[in-house]
Structure 1
Amino acid sequence: MAALRETAERFGPLTDAEADRLALLTSDWQIIADLSFADLVMWRQVPDGFVAIAQCRPSTGPTVHQDDVVGTKAAPGRVAHLRRAIDEGGIIASREPRWDETYAVREDALPVVMNGSPIAVLTREVSQAVSRSSSRLELNYKGAADDLLHMITRGEFPVQTSVTGPRRGAPRVGDGVLRLDAAGHVTYASPNALSCFHRLGVTGSLMNRSLPRVTSEVVLDKGHIDETLAMVVMGRAAWRTDLEANGACLSLRAIPVTEQGERTGAVLLCRDVSELRRRERELITKDATIREIHHRVKNNLQTVAALLRLQSRRVAAPEAKEALAEAMRRVSTIALVHETLSGTLDELVNFDDLAQRSMRMAADVASPGVQVKIVRDGDFGLVPAQFASSLALVITELVTNAVEHGFEGREIGTITVMASREQDRLHVSIEDNGVGLAGEPSGLGSQIVRTLIENELSGSITWRRLDGGSVVELDALVGDDR
């Protein structure tokens, strides 16, 4: 989290370990802000007081700070309260609420501890402008927040090895909260959490019931219960997992509550992600189908190329054999594009690898008796699938033309391909050290190239003669922004 470190180091040095600890806390403190219905502000001590280096607003209640406070210094009247949190090492509640403009703010301060030493101060600030009744939900939310804040004062939250998983649909406080005791029994379940488990097929209240037993009863395949699921529903590990049953899917995240290293309970967040997982499975199925289609197209094109090769062996006329060989080469180039697409999860082609293979194939097929060295400079980058076939055909035709006509009567030659990208605009230069151009090409290959460049790639192409060779330059649009 570079921004936090840069802000903090404007007011004093910060070690790598301290920066990592503060970044880990701020990446996960939204849970505490939502459970507390309060703003959180992190303060760094400086010689003449404290300065704010990070803040977090709640999504479950009104915010105290309409404007950002990062980079501002604490008012002189608050310095003693913040220093007391460092000195006493616990949660220090303000004796009297302070007034911000027209409303009162009640503030708790606590030290952020790492390896037994405070490295920052955290304040929890609650607006008193709107009176909130002490409902059962609010009392349990604040109780869970207090448990996590006490862990911060002991350096036990967040857990360094916490794994929440990369999948989408991470549960939040507003989605559903359960509190568990050390044995995995439910001591509180929010209404949203109860609704989530009802969708799984759980009936009745969850209060005082063993959550591991409840989940094992609804899981259909009881012989293959994931170990991660058991650890999460027990609240034993700071992990995240999915629970599926009866056509519903819940995303679960456990936050163990510890005291001096001993687990005393857990906070469990849950979210109904049934629709999200269904869409993800549909996308996976579609991706697999698209890859299979590309694979079959590649196989069919290779079959066509093989048929053309067989036909060319039965043809005696040189011109007919040459025409069939050219058709076979073009079909093989398109097959190479589909082979590349069949091995990727998206519709983008790494064209550098594809270009290298197609150019080598074109050089070997065009003139087997000439040793052609191909030098590539620059990158083609990622090219959308709808432009890959056209671009590959263009590059193959140009390299083939350079080999067949530029190195006629020679044993060796060099072709230099230079590529550069400016966002979606591609610039390519293909230069050879052959005999040079007698004029602008007018054969079938050059007609195919010009048609593809102008109609499919919205670009332009020019041929030029050089001293000791020739060069062709093309400009093409190979992006979705047309």
Structure 2
Amino acid sequence: MSTLSDLVERYAYLEPAQVEWLHLLVGDWQFISDLAFADLVLWLPTEDGNFVSLAHCRPSTGATVHYEDIVGTFAPDSVRPQLEKALVDEEVQRAREPRWFGTYAVREEAVPVRCNGHTIAVVARQTNLGSGRTPSRLEINYVEAADDLMNMIATGEFPSPNAATGSRRGAPRVGDGLLRLNAEGEVLYASPNALSCFHRLGVLGPLIGQSLVEVTAELIEHKVPVDESMPLVMMGRAPWRTDIESKGVCLSVRAVPLLENHERIGAVLMCRDASELRRRERELITKDATIREIHHRVKNNLQTVAALLRLQARRMTVPEAREALEEAMRRVSTIALVHDSLSQNLDEEVEFDEMVGRALRLAADVAAAGISVRTIQRGSFGLIPAKEATPLALVLTELVTNAVEHGLSATGGGTVEIRAERTGKHLKATVSDNGAGFDEGRGPGSGLGSTIVRTLITNELQGTIDWSNNETGGTQVVIELDMHG
């Protein structure tokens, strides 16, 4: 399916600001469709005099008119005259008679879309009249609010560029609860769901005729932090969202000011009981903070262990014992680095490149012992599942250490290269050096480091490992595995 921007670029020319205006309209017109009980279709005039559909919105409160997808199609001949008149006259055009779609009638209205004094498109408001019943008081208030908003589209006063952006989680919808306010912020109408929301908050009795901001202010506990924008939202003065909390109940409220000739004539407020959502969010925040603190403490404890091993190694007079403690210190430090990264990022996958780069440089510096060693990292490991990050980091640091201690030390220094090739979940990592290589008759080392590498690759990572001598000298180790996270 073509996007709105693609269709605009293909069939007409609009300024970037005008295209952005259409995006703002389409991104926030679902609640107008729900209020109007009508389909909304955005029609763009083309350079050849036709109209192409850029976007289509179906109401969640009533029956739709178009069951099929009409985005990217051209306006039927029967609709085009009304669209052209709305475009030329720059006024709302209402059809005198309903148009029949098979077995049901549809009432149609064409509304010009104004942006900075220019009419750039037309919104068709199409209402399915199939029910044929007398509208309720709720439906009448819905439609009246929709009429005001459609007039604002025609005068360029909707959408509002100053409306709040960001996450839509918990955003109230028309069916969650709706209030209509006058210019002074007094309640003209409150839907049954809206009344239920405010009753849970602690409001007693009817809301009609009362100042909503005064009613709400009396319920807020003094020790509870209050959003500074709350009064503006509750009076309908700003197109923002706010949360109101009292006695364990949280209401999410969104205001849409109603304007006429740039003068505020009232507002539409949508509200939703978001208590359970906020409770779960707080639980997740608490759990995330706890997990982060655990990783941080584990990292600190491991660094303490590494420091103790370093102190103990300095006191050792037997070289073999000192080397064993230094190797243990290096392995503990590598695990600490992984936990440090996990404490900063609680996702199920971690960015492995920066973390392993620090570990490999540390391993090379510790193992170098006076010789000149350079480490090169090529390619990208990408995102690695958290549970596989520790064993993989240990494997790579062991291989780099072995390359320095057993390969480069014999030649007085050199280069260790770590190359990563990632294809989907498959990872191929190569550790190579330009040192002395190993005796092919004896095979690769059988020390503790090599044993650790084989065990981690086989048991923890379910991968394969292969040692070989480079044709130009040195050793090459190839690891291949599939990420299981």
**Which TM-score bucket, shorter chain as reference?**
over 0.9
Offset at residue 76 of structure 1 (A): 1.6
**Native 8 Å contact 1:216 1:222 kept in 2:** no
Assess if the C-alpha contact under 8 Å between 2:227 and 2:243 holds in 1.
Answer: no
Deviation at 1:322, TM superposition (A): 1.2
Please report how far the alpha carbon of residue 282 of structure 1 lies from its aligned counterpart in structure 2 after TM superposition.
0.4
Distance 2:134 2:222 in 1: 44
Compared CA separation, residues 455 and 26, structure 1 to 2 (3 A) = same
CA contact (8 A) 2:413 2:435 kept: no
Correspondence 1:283-432 to 2 at 5 A: 283-432=284-433
**1:132 Cα deviation (Å)?**
3.5
Secondary structure of 1:58's aligned partner? coil
Q: How many correspondences in the alignment?
A: 480
The answer as to 2:472 corresponding to 1:471 is no
Q: In structure 1, what is the equivalent of residue 445 of structure 2?
A: 441
Q: Structure 2: which 5+ residue stretches go unaligned? A: none
Give yes or no for contact 1:459–1:476 (8 Å, CA) kept in 2.
Answer: yes
Give the gaps of 5 or more residues in structure 1: none
Aligned to 1:282: 283
Corresponding residue for residue 179 of structure 2: 178
SS in 2 for 1:149: helix
Is 2:6 the counterpart of 1:6? yes
In structure 2, C-alpha distance between the alignment counterparts of 1:132 and 1:244, rounded to whole Å: 39
Q: Aligned partners of 1:443 and 1:353: how far apart in 2?
A: 29
Q: How much has 1:48 moved relative to structure 2?
A: 3.9
Runs of 4+ in 1 over 6 A off after TM superposition: none
AA at the equivalent of 2:455: T
Counting only pairs closer than 5 Å after superposition, residues 184-333 of structure 1 correspond to structure 2 as 184-221=185-222, 225-333=226-334
Q: Distance in 2 between matches of 1:421 and 1:228?
A: 48
Which amino acid is the alignment partner of residue 232 of structure 1? V
Q: Which amino acid aligns with 1:452?
A: L
Task: Provide the residue aligned with 1:157 in structure 2.
Answer: 158
1:127 Cα shift?
0.9
Tell me how far apart the structure 1 counterparts of residues 477 and 115 of structure 2 sit (CA, whole Å): 63
Distance 1:2 1:281, change over 3 A: farther
> In structure 1, how many angstroms separate the alpha carbons of the residues matched to 2:288 and 2:239?
32
274 and 417 in structure 1: CA distance in 2 versus 1, 3 angstrom threshold: same
Output the CA distance in 1 between the equivalents of 2:200 and 2:215: 13
Contact 1:164-1:240 within 8 A present in 2 as well: no
TM-aligned CA distance change 1:294 to 1:318, over 3 Å:
same
1: distance between equivalents of 2:62 and 2:177? Answer: 16
Cα distance in structure 2, aligned partners of 1:388 and 1:212? 53
* 1:455-481 deviation per Cα after TM superposition (whole angstroms, max 9, x unaligned): 11111111110122111110122341x
Displacement, 1:225? Answer: 3.5
The 1:208/1:478 distance shift into structure 2, 3 A limit, reads same
Stretch of structure 1 that moved more, 205-214 or 412-421: 412-421
Does structure 1 retain, via aligned residues, the 8 Å contact 2:35–2:146?
yes
Partner SS for 1:99: strand
TM-score computed with the length of structure 2 as normaliser:
0.96
Q: Which residue in the other structure is 1:49 paired with?
A: 50
Deviations 1:206-255 (A, max 9, x none): 11110110110111027954321111111111111111111111111111
Question: CA separation of 1:285/1:2 partners in 2, compared to 1, >3 Å: closer, same or farther?
Answer: farther
Q: Within 1, Cα distance between the matches of 2:193 and 2:135? A: 18
In structure 1, C-alpha distance between the alignment counterparts of 2:232 and 2:420, rounded to whole Å = 53
Q: Distance in 2 between matches of 1:161 and 1:267?
A: 16
**Aligned-pair distance for 1:416?**
1.1
Secondary structure at the residue paired with 2:475? strand
Q: Which residue identity is paired with 1:121? A: V
Partner SS for 2:78: helix
Tell me how far apart the structure 2 counterparts of residues 20 and 373 of structure 1 sit (CA, whole Å).
51
Match of 1:461 among 450, 465, 471: 465
The offset of 1:295, in angstroms, is 1.1
- Deviation of 1:167 after TM superposition, in Å, equals 5.6
The alignment partner of 1:106 has SS state of: strand
Distance 2:223 2:480 in 1: 61
Query: Pairwise CA RMSD of aligned residues?
Result: 1.6
What is the deviation of 1:6?
A: 0.7
Indicate the residue corresponding to 2:39 in structure 1.
Answer: 39
1:300 and 1:193 mapped to 2: Cα distance? 53
